[in-house]
Amino acid sequence: ETPADPPGFQHPPERIDQAPRPVIGRIQGAALGGGAGPIAVCDIAVCSAEATIGCPEVRLGLVPGVISPYVVRKIGESHARQLFLTGERINADEAFRLGLVHRVVGGDEAALDAAVQECVDQLMNVSPEGAERAKALVHNLSGKSGETARRAARKAIADARASDDGREGTAAFLEKRKP
């Protein structure tokens, strides 16, 4: 919240980041400034080979304040420094190399749509509860290491095993059938 924000206001990247269900980003064209933030919080980001991404705020004497925590978390401090300080635009292949996007798709819009649909189809084959728990686990482990991370992971698997979906999934696996 900033002084100009109403109480309880969440910036769009935060809302996407905190969404319990998986979020797939479809990136096409230019995603500059605030447009880079949503990419950094998508669980799966599929990008057109022609897309460009950047944080040009510094060219205007500004900083990418709202999106910076998400971009830094996604690509690391070193890469964020370069992008934030230079204001440069990067192409889709560089965004992939940095870990900002997960997949780069060449071709037309139909090819991009097909790649996004593949991701949707993959997610349709997982337990919704399991996906929510997995996403929460990643958030919970972020910034943790050692015994703290191991404890959090053990608790997550114990809670998942005790859930209805976890019990059904385990039974189905042992019985060699689909849950």
Active site residues: 57
3-state class (DSSP) for residue 149: helix
173 Cβ neighbours under 8 A, 6+ residues apart: 179
Residue whose entry in the numeric block shows the structure tokens 């889709």: 92
Chain centroid to CA 41: how far? 4
115 Cβ neighbours under 8 A, 6+ residues apart: 46, 103, 105
Q: How far apart are CA 51 and CA 73, in angstroms?
A: 21
Q: Are 168 and 138 a contacting pair, CB within 8 Å?
A: no
* Percent of residues in the chain assigned helix, strand, coil, to nearest 5: 60, 10, 30
CA distances from 34 to 48, 68, 70, 156, 166 (A): 18, 10, 11, 33, 38
